Structure 1
Amino acid sequence: MLLDIDEKTNTISSKHLAEILTGQGKSWTLALLAGFFSLVGCQVTVGCYNDYLSRRDEGDFKKYLDPFKFTNNVKYRTFESMCEEKLTSKKHNKKFRDIIFDILSGEHLSPEYSQENENEKSILLIDEVDVFFSHNFGAMYCPGLRIKNKCFVEMQKDIWENIMMSKVVDKNQLKTLANQRIFNSTSQDKMLSHLVESNLLEDHLENMINTALRIREDMRNRNELRDKYRIIDNIIHTKDNDGKFVSTTWYDYEDSFYYLKLMYEKQKSFKQVHLDEDNFGYLSIRCGLISYSELPNSYDGIFGVSGSLKALSAGEESLLIYYNIHKRSYYPSFFGGSKLKFSIPNDFVIKDCKNDWFDSIVTRVRRRIAEDRSVLIFFYNEKLLDEFFTFYSGDLRVVPFYITQNKIFDGHKDRVYSDIYVDKLIKDEYAGHHGKVTLLTRVFGRGVDFQAEAKVNEKGGIHVIQTFFSMNVKEEIQIKGRTARKDDPGSYELVLCREHLEEPDSVGMKTSKFVNITKETTYDELDKQRTEIVDLFCRDKLKNIQANKNRHELTVSFFERAITECNENNRQDFIKEIKTL
């Protein structure tokens, strides 16, 4: 049906979405579509919001379809990696960061004249099309460049040591100290000399000092940055929007000075501390802005699948109209009606406070474990999961496993996150076995196939407890879909905390506040508020998408000109433009 022929033009529609229920072949549908389009000469990108699912599906796709030579023109990508490819020269495999580094550091410039194959059609296949309605899809991707230099290493150490040793900080004194470092190094450092001549350093120096002062202020007050950063294998990691600690994202100079803060605290100085210079001592350059929402517009065709295409608000419909996506198909279940048990009067509850909420989760888990079933508990974030595991898991009468974006507990010890361990716990060892409990963060509520053993299905299937109210009903549908998959039975409960609904910021939840909530508030009342919030959000996002389009096009245009036009004669003109990206 996704390859339905248009009767008027006798061609395949170029934009088509389909609803395929959870557990009934979305990944394979995309794989076969990718194979078809690759065979007719198209370049195919299968886009996914989640790197674990993208890697998993690519592995399965290659394993089963490589013998048919379907994979020559097929790429599995996250939307972040699609942004990176947008700023990479296909012919020379040169990234935008590399080009900007050459321009700023004084490297020899030689324009590259290349003609991309404009006749080659490109197809975008989207796994879970509700990515269009997510918060990130209305945002901008900001590629960055770090220009490292020994002078910046010593300068940033000087700034932090002086801030720590001074009761009253004199910003002018810090600037003087930093500028003296630069002056003493310029004559012997060609790249640094070039950066000074290009008038690049003054604003960055101001930013460095202000960032260091802000971190000191945070230390003395709410210490909010404490949960944002972590040193893993000697490298500073930053928590991304999904709660995963990554080393590839940074916030100008906040990461470098927070690393210095953490290391300085060990000895109250840097004298006896080994500092890894991969973490600081750089100039942070922003390399333009790419709009996630503009990526689909660069493809000749858009096809996508979702388990929840029918549940669209008016605002969500307007976003699809923006992409000129009108054609929809709805596939019935292969197995008749769902065997999911969810009764709102019995399986939906709001507890007044966190302690009662945790107690209620424990009680419900123990009830299902007594039935020889397995239980999956989904928490909004790692912070809440950790709190439950630390203070309440002992009351479960079994030792639970947990899986977050950053770590895994396999019943014996904590492990650093790994796809291999996730697959093992989900499929081979644990999650679907009787008497077992698995705690998970919400990112694993989509696309992950938890496999139940026969004994569990005989007793009613996997039981899912969702402990937060999804801001979009499509996420709730996805979490429900972790059980009662295909023809299997399963059950679901929604156990909420009133404090979290009214003050989500208090526990790190990036959701809207609900109003007038009591423990008697009904599911329908919450759902009505949610629908209104989502509809308003989508309408606002459409405005943001249109506003971001100009910034996106400015970056892409500059990238194309930098490759083909920048030379020794116009370098300074390009440097001026880089400052405005």
Structure 2
Amino acid sequence: MKIIKDDFKISKYTFTPSIFGKTQLDFKEQDHVLMEENKDLWYRKIAEDILEKTKKERSVIVVFEDEKTLNDFETSHYFGQVEKSSKLVESTTDRDTVIKKATTSKQVTLITKSFGRGVDFIVNDDKVIDNGGVHVIQTFLSEEITEEVQIKGRTARQGQKGSYKMILLKYDLVCMGMTSESLGNAIKGNGFYKMIDEKRQNSFSAKCEKQKNVVNKSNDLDNESNKYLNLLLNYDDSKKSEISKLLEQFNK
């Protein structure tokens, strides 16, 4: 929001309410954001959540950060317990078929995060609707909150019921700059999601600031280059010193 205000000078905003009213998404930060200590426990927890929901004749969409992680889980013995499954990755040729099947009763669909944005998983199966809708499991913490919101939005669409859960691997969070100690302390209390969200937003803000500095330096260099070009095009001896200084600056 700060970038929109300061850099793009946008000051007027319009907020439009949903035509579908209050969301029926079942998601509670305290109960539905989990972390596992190692990959084996992580796989097991994801598989347990899948089986719990499919036993209730619901459909499940599991979102992975990349295709390798998806394939590793798919080939694990934990996923072997799943009866009906398909996956949606960049190389999938019959995407429309996979997307249509994804919301049918007891169907489990593994997708990469690129399909967590914009893909419309339409629910027409009465069994799924009557038993709580589509269940979405996100297996990683998005670097940007906007991506998380989009993934969450693959369920409970257009006033329908649905549920969402995050099942995270501790190692991935440590790689994002969080300490093992802080994660351990937070998971024991009630503020785990709040803590990782704050860390995520701080990291993203730092990246934005770094990128902004790069852009500013590029703009400064562009201005100096144009100045140098103009001096050459309109050359006279009185500007020789200024031209030399600019050349020295460019060659640093």
Give the TM-score category using the shorter length.
Answer: 0.7 to 0.9
Corresponding residue number in structure 1 for 2:48: 363
Pick the aligned partner of 2:204 from 534, 555, 561: 534
- Whole-Å Cα distance in 1 between the matches of residues 224 and 66 of structure 2? 36
Corresponding residue number in structure 1 for 2:16: 331
Pick the aligned partner of 1:438 from 96, 99, 109: 109
Q: TM-score, normalised by structure 2?
A: 0.80
Q: Note if 1:422 corresponds to 2:95.
A: yes
Corresponding residue number in structure 1 for 2:183: 517
Q: Deviations over 1:489-534 (max 9, x none)?
A: 100000001011113xxxxxxxx32223225371111112122222
- Whole-Å Cα distance in 2 between the matches of residues 482 and 370 of structure 1? 21
- Whole-Å Cα distance in 1 between the matches of residues 219 and 83 of structure 2? 52
- Whole-Å Cα distance in 1 between the matches of residues 224 and 53 of structure 2? 56
- Whole-Å Cα distance in 1 between the matches of residues 29 and 8 of structure 2? 36
- Whole-Å Cα distance in 2 between the matches of residues 552 and 491 of structure 1? 50
- Whole-Å Cα distance in 2 between the matches of residues 423 and 327 of structure 1? 39
- What residue ranges of structure 2 are gaps of 5+ in the alignment? 226-252
Partner-residue secondary structure (3-state), 1:329:
coil
- What residue ranges of structure 1 are gaps of 5+ in the alignment? 1-315, 409-417, 504-511, 556-581
- Whole-Å Cα distance in 2 between the matches of residues 496 and 367 of structure 1? 18
Partner-residue secondary structure (3-state), 2:96:
helix
Q: Which amino acid aligns with 1:483?
A: T
Partner-residue secondary structure (3-state), 2:205:
helix
Corresponding residue number in structure 1 for 2:28: 343
Corresponding residue number in structure 2 for 1:498: 170
Q: Note if 1:395 corresponds to 2:68.
A: no
The alpha-carbon distance between structure 1 residues 514 and 319, as it changes in their structure 2 partners (threshold 3 A), is farther
Q: Which amino acid aligns with 1:439?
A: L
Cα drift, residue 317 of structure 1:
1.3
Corresponding residue number in structure 2 for 1:447: 118
Cα drift, residue 403 of structure 1:
1.1
Corresponding residue number in structure 1 for 2:231: none
Q: Deviations over 1:37-91 (max 9, x none)?
A: xxxxxxxxxxxxxxxxxxxxxxxxxxxxxxxxxxxxxxxxxxxxxxxxxxxxxxx
Aligned residues of 1:466 and 1:493 also touching (Cα < 8 A): yes
User: 1:371-382 maps to which residues of 2 (within 5 A)?
Assistant: 371-382=56-67
Partner-residue secondary structure (3-state), 1:400:
strand
Cα drift, residue 393 of structure 1:
5.8
Partner-residue secondary structure (3-state), 2:119:
coil
Cα drift, residue 325 of structure 1:
2.1
Aligned residues of 1:379 and 1:466 also touching (Cα < 8 A): yes
- Whole-Å Cα distance in 2 between the matches of residues 386 and 468 of structure 1? 15
- Whole-Å Cα distance in 1 between the matches of residues 159 and 135 of structure 2? 15
User: 1:128-527 maps to which residues of 2 (within 5 A)?
Assistant: 316-392=1-77, 394-405=79-90, 407-408=91-92, 418=93, 421-427=94-100, 430-455=101-126, 456-503=128-175, 512-515=176-179, 516-518=182-184, 519-520=187-188, 522-527=192-197
Aligned residues of 2:63 and 2:113 also touching (Cα < 8 A): yes
Q: Deviations over 1:181-233 (max 9, x none)?
A: xxxxxxxxxxxxxxxxxxxxxxxxxxxxxxxxxxxxxxxxxxxxxxxxxxxxx
Cα drift, residue 550 of structure 1:
6.0
Aligned residues of 1:350 and 1:520 also touching (Cα < 8 A): no
Corresponding residue number in structure 2 for 1:120: none
- Whole-Å Cα distance in 1 between the matches of residues 161 and 54 of structure 2? 16
Aligned residues of 2:44 and 2:78 also touching (Cα < 8 A): no
Aligned residues of 1:362 and 1:395 also touching (Cα < 8 A): no
- Whole-Å Cα distance in 2 between the matches of residues 433 and 551 of structure 1? 56
Q: Deviations over 1:439-489 (max 9, x none)?
A: 011111111100112321111111000000112211111110000111111
- Whole-Å Cα distance in 1 between the matches of residues 151 and 109 of structure 2? 14
Q: TM-score, normalised by structure 1?
A: 0.36
Cα drift, residue 551 of structure 1:
7.0
Aligned residues of 1:465 and 1:492 also touching (Cα < 8 A): yes
Aligned residues of 1:462 and 1:483 also touching (Cα < 8 A): yes
Partner-residue secondary structure (3-state), 1:432:
coil
Corresponding residue number in structure 2 for 1:543: 213
Corresponding residue number in structure 1 for 2:232: none
Cα drift, residue 376 of structure 1:
0.3
Note the aligned Cα RMSD (angstroms).
2.3
Q: Which amino acid aligns with 1:342?
A: F
Cα drift, residue 404 of structure 1:
1.4
Corresponding residue number in structure 1 for 2:233: none
Aligned residues of 1:361 and 1:495 also touching (Cα < 8 A): yes
The number of equivalent residue pairs is 219
Cα drift, residue 545 of structure 1:
2.1
The alpha-carbon distance between structure 1 residues 423 and 551, as it changes in their structure 2 partners (threshold 3 A), is farther
Aligned residues of 1:373 and 1:462 also touching (Cα < 8 A): yes
Corresponding residue number in structure 2 for 1:38: none
Q: Which amino acid aligns with 1:520?
A: K
